[in-house]
Structure 1
Amino acid sequence: MKENKYNEKTFFEKYSQMSRSKQGLAGAGEWKTLEPLLPDFRGKAVLDLGCGYGWHCIYAAEHGAKQVIGIDISDRMLAVAREKTHFEQVEYRCTAIEDAQFEENSFDIVLSSLALHYIESFDMVAKQVSRFLKPGGTFLFSCEHPVFTAEGSQQWVTNPDGSIAHFPVDNYYYEGKRTANFLGESVTKYHRTLTTYLMGLLNNGFEITAVAEPMPPEDMLDLPGMKDEMRRPMMLIVRAVKK
């Protein structure tokens, strides 16, 4: 059964208190790296896989997209998205990414923000997106970095005095399920290597056009714990085009 952690009341309430939940894209540490990589949305059909609160769907509509479909497994997340969205061309559907069904060549752009590390098979996603996209279409996604997902716990190792010693990276080549601690809750995620991400795209008809490992922006470095985020990558962003 596909995990639907964001539909659990306690976890959802904790997530709703994060700055990225309250402030939208401006509160997301990776946004200043991601935004310049976005394609031109004018007149385009857009699909957002794991759309959450719908921030990227709203952004696409604001920038001229003619059609935007956001899918997410959590109806709690989609309820918030619908409340925030005031564009007729945006539609939300409650479905898991693995179960998404669309006609071939339906979209010009497919986005996914921090959702794909919850999916067991990236190759399945790459095949799926290649089918949905028109030739020349853009696939742009962010996910948790393989360095961040490898060991599994996603917790700093600390010294006896409580200070941070290092971040653990272990079992890197052993791909698969991990149980992470996120917002004080146990969450199932999937680790895969950088090779699996990049070759998954290349083997499914994509040309990779950009890769980025977002660092905390300077205007967030004074926030608690943010300077420690410079010690290891947390996220990976990849942009690819269907040949």
Structure 2
Amino acid sequence: MRQNKYDEAAFFDSYSRMSRSVEGLNAAGEWHELQTLLPDLKQKHVLDLGCGFGWHCRYAREQQAKSVIGVDLSENMLRRARELTDDSQIEYQQMAIEDIHFEQNRFDVVISSLALHYVEHIDEVFAKIHHCLVKGGTLVLSVEHPIFTARAEQDWHYGPDGEILHWPVDHYHNEGQRTANFLNQDVVKYHRTLATYINELVRAGFIIQQVAESKPSPEMMEQVPGMSDENRRPMFLMIAAMKA
């Protein structure tokens, strides 16, 4: 069974109230960096894996992508994506990322934002992405940073008065399943090291083009209380890779 928390009513309701769910990409703390990793999308065929509400799908069309397919396992996610989308060149398909079987050379660009840390066998997914990309095509992904996923607690270490002391990292090289608390519910994620992400991409036939570790934009630093603590450790890892 593929994990599908977003079709649970209470979980989806909590997720829908998050600022990034309401305001879209401009409320996503990593978007100002992820956006710079994307290639020119004009006249490109784009695949979005774990598309959620379809924010990246619609962005691709705003950048004049020729066609976009968004894939997500959640019926709730896709229902909201379709409600927000009025574009015949965007198609949404319900399936798990692990189950994609697109034909060879179908897409110019594949995007996956904050979805692949829910996938157990990342090597199989990278191979499928490589298969459906054209030669020279680009994969741009973001995941929770390995520093963030190493401990299932995914939280700061606090002092006696509740002050933030540091971000603890432990069991870093012990890759595998973590049961983390997200939106007050248990969610299964998969921790893997930074080296594993990069090496599995290389083994799948990709050339690494750029790696970024998230940090707040100057605007968020000014506008969002407590955002300065996000500079103390990266929450997200972003990679751009090209099919050799």
Tell me the TM-score normalized by structure 2. Answer: 0.97
The correspondence of residues 166-185 of structure 1 with structure 2, limited to 5 A, is 166-185=166-185
1:55 aligned residue: 55
2:6 aligned residue: 6
The 3-state SS of whatever aligns with 1:15 is helix
1:203-226 residue CA offsets vs partner (Å, 9 max, x unmatched): 111111000012011211242332
The one-letter code of the counterpart of 2:117 is: H
Which range moves more in the overlay, 186-195 or 213-222? Answer: 213-222
Structure 2 distance, partners of 1:56, 1:172, is: 31
1:128-168 residue CA offsets vs partner (Å, 9 max, x unmatched): 11011011100000000000000121111211211112212
The correspondence of residues 27-66 of structure 1 with structure 2, limited to 5 A, is 27-66=27-66
Structure 2 distance, partners of 1:171, 1:54, is: 35
The one-letter code of the counterpart of 2:233 is: R
The yes-or-no answer on 1:216 pairing with 2:216 is yes
Q: Over aligned residue pairs, what C-alpha RMSD do you find? A: 0.9
Structure 2 distance, partners of 1:102, 1:225, is: 43
The 3-state SS of whatever aligns with 2:219 is helix
The one-letter code of the counterpart of 1:69 is: I
The 3-state SS of whatever aligns with 1:210 is strand
The one-letter code of the counterpart of 2:98 is: E
1:199 aligned residue: 199
2:233 aligned residue: 232
The yes-or-no answer on 1:121 pairing with 2:121 is yes
Structure 1 distance, partners of 2:224, 2:17, is: 15
Tell me the TM-score normalized by structure 1. Answer: 0.98
The one-letter code of the counterpart of 1:38 is: L
Say whether the 8 Å CA contact 1:155–1:181 is kept in structure 2. Answer: no
Shift of 1:31: 0.8
Say whether the 8 Å CA contact 1:48–1:56 is kept in structure 2. Answer: yes
The 3-state SS of whatever aligns with 1:92 is strand
Which range moves more in the overlay, 207-216 or 162-171? Answer: 162-171
Structure 2 distance, partners of 1:224, 1:191, is: 29
Structure 2 distance, partners of 1:184, 1:159, is: 23
Aligned length: 243
Sequence identity (%):
56
Structure 1 distance, partners of 2:157, 2:36, is: 34
Structure 2 distance, partners of 1:87, 1:38, is: 21
Structure 2: gaps of 5 or more residues? none
Structure 1: gaps of 5 or more residues? none
Structure 2 distance, partners of 1:168, 1:181, is: 16
